[in-house]
Amino acid sequence: MRSRTGLITTLLQAGNDPNHILFKLALREALQGCESVLDIGCGVTHTMRHLGIPKTCGAEGYLPSFTEAKRQNTHDQLVQCDVRDLSKQFQPGQFDACVALDVIEHLPKADGLQMITDMERIAKKKVVFFTPSGFLEQHHASNDDLQEHLSGWEAAEMEKLGYRVTGQLGPKSLRGAYHALKRRPAAFWGLVSLAGQLTRSKHHPAEAAAILCVKTLAGN
């Protein structure tokens, strides 16, 4: 399902921050066995294609990002919709997996919990979230870009909802908004972050900069 070429492309897209390579590998493992994926709040990313997913659908509410994603052909199908209206757009069990990468923190808590419920209804096999570990302050770059963080999600609460949670991107203290390293040179601090990820953060997600939350649905 996932070609060697696709994996190499994914690693190259991760740039010079080695933690992003580990994250992409963890995401790839989480989606093993999933032939179709709904990528919620997909923006202008090719991540699902780079992972070699055979059937990809992107859902994006921000019109400039949706338009650019269409231009770049980032997914097999693209739907412009509010992520709070997923139940109106997609059918139960329509996709093997639903994925929301850096999305749920942009919603108020009640809307985020509803999105979790909707994703678990739409997916047949897996639901995957990637989000900062706890609340991370982040503001708009422009008034309508939807980049402000409105909620925080802790590893413990996601575990209570039935998700397997791993820490990602190394220690929380090293990163700020947009998961960017706070210190320079980035190459050095990226390696420091990587060491923290390998030795502790992965298995202590409350201390990590971000969390990857994966739920295998009943019957799978």
Q: pLDDT for 25-68, tens place per residue?
A: 999 999 999 999 999 999 999 999 999 999 999 999 989 999 99
Compute the mean pLDDT over every residue in the chain, rounded to the nearest whole number. Answer: 90
- Checking if the pLDDT of 5 tops 50, the result is no
In DSSP terms, 77 is beta-bridged to 57
What domain count does the chain have? 1
User: H or E segment at 59?
Assistant: strand 55-60
CATH of the domain at 14: 3.40.50.150
Question: What percentage of the chain carries pLDDT values higher than 70?
Answer: 90
The stretch 134-143 carries a mean pLDDT of 81
| DSSP letters spanning 120-185 | HHHEEEEEEEEEEBS------SSTTS-------B-HHHHHHTT-EEEEEEEEGGGB-GGG-BSSSS
Burial class of residue 94, CB neighbours in 10 A (0-12, 13-18, 19+):
middle
Q: Are 211 and 130 in contact (CB under 8 A)?
A: yes
**Measured between alpha carbons, how far is 172 from 178 in angstroms, rounded to an integer?**
12
Residue type, 115: M
Phi, psi of 176 (to 5 degrees): -125, -145
- Predicted TM-score of the model (pTM): 0.90
Range of the domain at 30: 4-216
Packing angle, helices 18-30 and 186-199, rounded to 10: 40
**Measured between alpha carbons, how far is 129 from 99 in angstroms, rounded to an integer?**
6
Q: pLDDT for 106-131, tens place per residue?
A: 999 999 999 999 999 999 999 999 99
The stretch 14-25 carries a mean pLDDT of 82
